[in-house]
Structure 1
């Protein structure tokens, strides 16, 4: 059993005896007295030997490069001296560190440079000359003004892959427009289909536009590395627009509103075009999510959950279109039935009827989710303020069985923690 698997098993055992991640971490250390950091030490990972330099801040670029680091890439995060990435200071919820930063910055080296300083720019130039990938999500045009555009860099390093992440892309009338996650959600029409439709726009509760941009940047960089191996080592430029990423994810509502037709109506946590599909309140004050996808499930739901098989053939609810049209009437029937049940009772009945369902968890419920614990999905990663739990990247088995390799999950760095080593490597004085 390797260290990665041992750490997973030990933290899982600790989690079974406590109710919070901090308590689980304390119990882990108290019982086993060891650092639970999981590193893919000595492995030949898919991106071993690939160096990524990132002029990054906030979420989009850091989440992209963290995933490259998971696969073994050496990621050098260039930050402002002293304060570092401003996302370090969004909050202090993780033992004094910011929740956003902890999420997307493990397994990186931190190099603190003042890019307004000519000598520091020389350091960055020397670093990029030897790099495989440059990622940047600075303000529009900032990297180019500093001399780090793709056109300038490819002269010295023709194999370099440059990935620019911006709100609206590197050209067009919106090129220089400032872009934050919420603003992109708004421009992409996401707010028009989110919320309750009662006038006040509602955003998605996570940085979905940043995440979308990060995922496309990540996949495009992987594709570019493969392509480089086939075309004689020639690099390329990748232009990732947050707006375009978000509009791609808006495909269903866009086509639903095709050719001037009305778009989906915001329906809270319910589905605009399928019913019943969404949350229903139970008699104990809880909520259960459920979804009916076809007529077979509708008949089963009527018979075994609502205890009224005749509803399956009621003309008001004969098919999904009729159920959507008569949503208010059907909701009263479902609410009356669920009002006699607890959350546990409702889920048991839904399970027996083979109806898709879910609990409406808060975040503490997710930290302690029995499925994540049973599959050993939590391990620990060192930070400057102590170890924190971290989710094993999706797609990897916690037990290691069948994995082609184990993900790299190394410490979260302090600002400038690796300056001395990197400067020495490049031949610069401290």
Structure 2
């Protein structure tokens, strides 16, 4: 049995941050009931049509193993259905627009005030208080506010992270918070009204740049693919045209690199390169001598030499390379999951429990489980038909 079997999560969710969290809770065994708008559903369904030309890549990634229930809370009757669901839930989460949940009485504090044993989570961009509390927040905006964009990219040009870093950071803390709250709930019966803000999450993930600026007073320079405080720690092109990222962590490794793969034992004791501080001061020269030596080697030769010298390295892969990655293939990390457009390839859950089959239920169609869930909370076929006629579901 998966550890969250028997736990019911009702989630008023859209986009990325909260759906990321609830998908992982579902894979730990929770029943996740996703509340969507009738008709179009979660607007992440419309971000693109990349999956078989009919399903958003975002939605496919974030929503397997959930049940979809459509409810329009502006239509009479729909709120009563939601209240019945919440009464039977262990966890309720929402990432509606700023102030929307509070206006509906669905914010975490209000829900736990009515249902003291409930774990309730509000996910927002900037938190429920402070001057930014009413601002809309999307991932790239929070990356900008947090300083992540300022430290990412080349010296000439800043860049956002290549994935939804603010959303994933916030979603990760939702998972952590819910699991901790469920543990306390099991021990004492106490619920929890939890607040997770994207800016708070990314601020935590910005710890190294924050500490550096706090204690030096100097903004960190963008360093592209290289490490800002270690050299050599950069990508170099082989004679085959492959980019290989080489990471030297200490002076002993530098000596082994110079004497082995680079075939330049003279560099090991040269004062201009002997210590990391010297190599960083002379970064351009360091990179030039490494690049020259690497450029003379075939990729297989370089990797064999790095392995023999005990130096860490990695190919700079494209996403297509990741899809064909031999390590993932060897470990069976790709699976097929059902969806409204047919089977789609996805990665296995990161966390799997020995002896328990991974939960890999399909990505749901909009409202796919509506009638079944309404029947479970006691509505008759006639009442369901009335709600549908009124546009409530």
TM class by smaller structure: over 0.9
* Aligned partner of residue 229 in structure 1, secondary structure: helix
**Pairwise CA distance, 1:265:** 1.2
Residue correspondence of structure 1 range 32-47 to structure 2 within 5 A: 44-47=1-4
* Aligned partner of residue 215 in structure 1, secondary structure: helix
Aligned partner (choices 307, 315, 322) of residue 278 of structure 2: 322
* Aligned partner of residue 183 in structure 1, secondary structure: helix
* Aligned partner of residue 69 in structure 1, secondary structure: helix
Q: Which deviates further from its counterpart, 162-171 or 405-414?
A: 405-414
Q: Show the counterpart of 1:418.
A: 369
After superposition, the C-alpha distances for 1:171-203 in whole angstroms (9 at most, x for unaligned) are: 1111111111111111111112110121x3200
Aligned partner (choices 292, 297, 302) of residue 253 of structure 2: 297
After superposition, the C-alpha distances for 1:325-366 in whole angstroms (9 at most, x for unaligned) are: 001111111121122123333222212221101111111111
- Residue 57 (structure 1) aligned with residue 14 (structure 2): yes
Residue correspondence of structure 1 range 115-264 to structure 2 within 5 A: 115-198=73-156, 200-231=157-188, 233-264=189-220
CA contact (8 A) 2:112 2:193 kept: no
CA contact (8 A) 2:124 2:196 kept: yes
* In 2, Cα distance between equivalents of 1:176 and 1:195: 30
CA contact (8 A) 1:254 1:263 kept: no
* Aligned partner of residue 162 in structure 1, secondary structure: strand
CA contact (8 A) 2:158 2:222 kept: no
* In 2, Cα distance between equivalents of 1:84 and 1:319: 58
CA contact (8 A) 2:245 2:313 kept: yes
**Pairwise CA distance, 1:260:** 4.6
Residue 372 to residue 249, structure 1, CA distance change in 2 (3 Å): same
**Pairwise CA distance, 1:153:** 2.2
* In 2, Cα distance between equivalents of 1:422 and 1:332: 64
Q: Show the counterpart of 1:10.
A: none
- Residue 66 (structure 1) aligned with residue 26 (structure 2): no
After superposition, the C-alpha distances for 1:9-56 in whole angstroms (9 at most, x for unaligned) are: xxxxxxxxxxxxxxxxxxxxxxxxxxxxxxxxxxx2211111100010
* Aligned partner of residue 316 in structure 1, secondary structure: coil
* Aligned partner of residue 77 in structure 2, secondary structure: helix
Structure 2: state its 5+ residue gaps.
385-393
Q: Show the counterpart of 2:36.
A: 79
| Higher RCO (Cα < 8 Å, 6 or more apart) | 1
C-alpha RMSD of the superposition: 1.3
After superposition, the C-alpha distances for 1:195-225 in whole angstroms (9 at most, x for unaligned) are: 0121x32000000110010010001000000
* In 1, Cα distance between equivalents of 2:328 and 2:179: 28
Q: Which deviates further from its counterpart, 205-214 or 157-166?
A: 157-166
Q: Show the counterpart of 2:236.
A: 280
* Aligned partner of residue 421 in structure 1, secondary structure: helix
Aligned partner (choices 288, 298, 319) of residue 363 of structure 1: 319
Aligned partner (choices 327, 333, 336) of residue 380 of structure 1: 336
* Aligned partner of residue 121 in structure 2, secondary structure: strand
* Aligned partner of residue 169 in structure 1, secondary structure: coil
* In 2, Cα distance between equivalents of 1:288 and 1:134: 46
* In 2, Cα distance between equivalents of 1:335 and 1:48: 53
CA contact (8 A) 2:36 2:70 kept: yes
CA contact (8 A) 2:85 2:377 kept: yes
Q: Which deviates further from its counterpart, 259-268 or 416-425?
A: 259-268
* In 2, Cα distance between equivalents of 1:152 and 1:295: 57
Q: Show the counterpart of 1:337.
A: 293
Residue 178 to residue 142, structure 1, CA distance change in 2 (3 Å): same
Q: Show the counterpart of 1:98.
A: 56
Q: Which deviates further from its counterpart, 96-105 or 336-345?
A: 336-345
Q: Show the counterpart of 1:409.
A: 360
* Aligned partner of residue 163 in structure 1, secondary structure: strand
Residue 189 to residue 57, structure 1, CA distance change in 2 (3 Å): same
Q: Which deviates further from its counterpart, 357-366 or 147-156?
A: 147-156
* In 2, Cα distance between equivalents of 1:392 and 1:259: 41
CA contact (8 A) 1:282 1:341 kept: yes
